[in-house]
Amino acid sequence: MPDDRQNAIYRFALVFLFIAAGFIAVLFKIVRIQWFERDNLMEQVDTRTPNATTIAPQRGNILDTDGRLLASSIPGYYVYMDTRVPSLHQGGDTLFYRYIDSIANGLSRILPEKSATEYKTMITRSFNHRNGKSPSGQQRENGTYLKLCPHRVSYIQKREIEQLPLFRRGYYKSGLQFVESPQRKKPFGSLASRTIGTILANGTGNTGLEKTFEAELHGTDGLALRERMGGKWENVPIREAVNGYDLVTTLDANMLDITETALRGCLERTQADWGCCILMEVQSGKIRAICNLDRNTDGTYSERANHAVTRVEPGSTFKTIAMMAALDDGKVELTDTFEVYKHGWKYLDAKHTDAHAKDTVYTLRSALAVSSNIAFAKMILKSYDKKASKFVDKLQSMGLRDSVYSEIPGAQKPRIDIPNDAVTLSRMAYGYSVELTPMQILTFYNGIANDGKMIRPYLVEQVVDGGEVVRTFDTETLKSSMCRRSTLEDVRVSLHDVVWDDNIGTASVRTWAGRIVDYKAQSKRVHIAGKTGTAQLFRNGRYQSREHRMTFVGYFPEEAPQYTCICMVEHPHNYPAYDAGYDCGNVVRQIAERTIVYAGHYIIQGDSLVYQKNK
């Protein structure tokens, strides 16, 4: 008997130990899941939950500096009809045939891409295929739904379609279904379209600011489970979507319109391949306007590529850079003279020629005004022959070789290499064998306007969430001083002559028989200083004598610079009538005259404008 009792105790103890071990194992598993495996398991829930669907957040808006919409997502819907729903096929198909004519007529009125007959034929074929009557001619989307319209419909159109006979009965009676797909709209059309950017079909940024600020604009996806509730399948959120932030840009819609209008007029007149124009605030670095227009096959122009951040050989706008380097290094003075020749100047195996060919002598100051290639080739050789690395080092110290960060995807770095021979060095003086983007050229000239302080241009001021500022972008200084004060003054007076010396300034006036017949960048309303540039295009392994890139870059008003502007035009087809000072300078002049009044820096008094220093 005692043995039986002892055996029972042993068995009870054994069972207890098994239960205790199981309990401990369960506790251990709970602790392990809760503290060590929870994050991993939650990720698996997000991605592997049966019937889980993603809830797309609302993409943030892109605004101009005054809060006007530049890009926004508006509701859009694809409309489908599921002709398989049982109610359409019950009672001898009477429900379907009773309403098909009304549906077809209504769709034709709301969506006039097809006639009522075409809608009726399309829907009936799909319906009959469900009944096995017409295996040919089926038009289904994903093998299930008939897509009634190839493009998105608006919210108003959606509401009108929902009120059509039969469709107003809902999905289970009619098969009507809408799939929400927001549309990205640009209320100002083509204005800065390429810079604002585009999005892909899946809603992610593809180009421009849409791509650079994808993380901020997109937001965070939500997650929902599809469950049957009250006899219907509903999406039950298990994680709410977080809408994207808004971007407040530095762009000004009015200035964008001013800039595009002026550039488009120049391109249509010259029939150039493309044109680019940028308007920047001198002291802040804010880009107020940017325009890139490419010529289409039908002769019209539209925004297709961002030339503002694509590097090119700058041509004579680089002369100002070479001049600043030599002056600041003490290699030359503004009064130094250089002899030029009507038939060009041969140096080693290269021949340098001038557009305004004559046998004469120029000072360095007048050489910039008339844009003499010969004088600048001689100037750079006098200053840096056999010391090419010193020249490039000087450009480095001036900030020319540094990459100017841009919010535009694909922005290219400058290419300024140490030349291997004197011929290459001499050509660098007037803008060949080097490459800069229009944005980088603008940044340099803006430094001249900004008392020698080079700042980074930027396009986005703030990231905003529901009115609350999440992030702010401020002015960033690249070089506190590009050169000595005396050098800066010498450069400024030389750039003044380019526009205001009626005898030789390449951006001053057009004359005939000694009389002024037209004005280039010279304006009676606002003083502009700047530099022209013309470069032959390099194609098929050689420079083309009849294909050019024209540029004018300058700042205004000269007495107290507020804005810097560059206009670049590629391959005008009005050869030989092209003129960088007239074509590109005229664009900058139009922009300056309209912008300076719009911005309130000038007031009109009689027939002239008077600068307001307190603005």
Write out the H or E segment, with its range, that includes residue 16.
Answer: helix 2-32
* Whole-number pLDDT of residue 136: 33
- Helix pair angle (438-449, 318-328), 10° resolution: 50
As a whole number of angstroms, the distance between CA 555 and CA 586 comes to 13
Q: Give the pLDDT confidence of 517-555 residue by residue, as tens digits.
A: 999 999 988 999 999 999 999 998 899 988 999 999 999
Whether 480 and 396 share a structural domain: yes
367 belongs to a structural domain = yes
Q: Which residues of the chain register pLDDT less than 50?
A: 47-49, 132-143, 614-615
216 belongs to a structural domain = yes
Total count of domains within the chain: 3
7 belongs to a structural domain = no
Q: Give the pLDDT confidence of 344-372 residue by residue, as tens digits.
A: 999 998 899 998 889 999 999 999 999 99
- Read off the pTM: 0.82
* Number of other residues whose CB lies within 10 A of the CB of residue 34: 10
As a whole number of angstroms, the distance between CA 69 and CA 62 comes to 6
Whether 266 and 354 share a structural domain: yes
* Whole-number pLDDT of residue 31: 75
Of the residues 249, 284, 304, which one is the last residue of a structural domain?
249
Whether 438 and 330 share a structural domain: yes
Whether 505 and 368 share a structural domain: yes
Structural domain including 206 reads: 51-75+183-249
* Whole-number pLDDT of residue 376: 97
Whether 187 and 177 share a structural domain: no
Whether 67 and 82 share a structural domain: no
Single-letter code of the amino acid located at 196: I
24 belongs to a structural domain = no
* 229: CATH: 3.90.1310.10
Of the residues 181, 204, 219, which one is the last residue of a structural domain?
181
* Whole-number pLDDT of residue 50: 52
The DSSP output letter for 37 is: I
* Whole-number pLDDT of residue 133: 41
* Whole-number pLDDT of residue 215: 94
- Could you write out the three-class secondary structure of 123-176? HHHHHHHHCCCCCCCCCCECCCEEECCCCCECHHHHHHHHCCCCHHHCHHHHCE
85 belongs to a structural domain = yes
* Whole-number pLDDT of residue 560: 92
* Whole-number pLDDT of residue 85: 83
* 520: CATH: 3.40.710.10
* Whole-number pLDDT of residue 132: 41
As a whole number of angstroms, the distance between CA 210 and CA 409 comes to 10
* Whole-number pLDDT of residue 568: 98
Per-residue DSSP letters for 65-89? Answer: TTS-EEEEEE--EEEEE-TT-GGGG
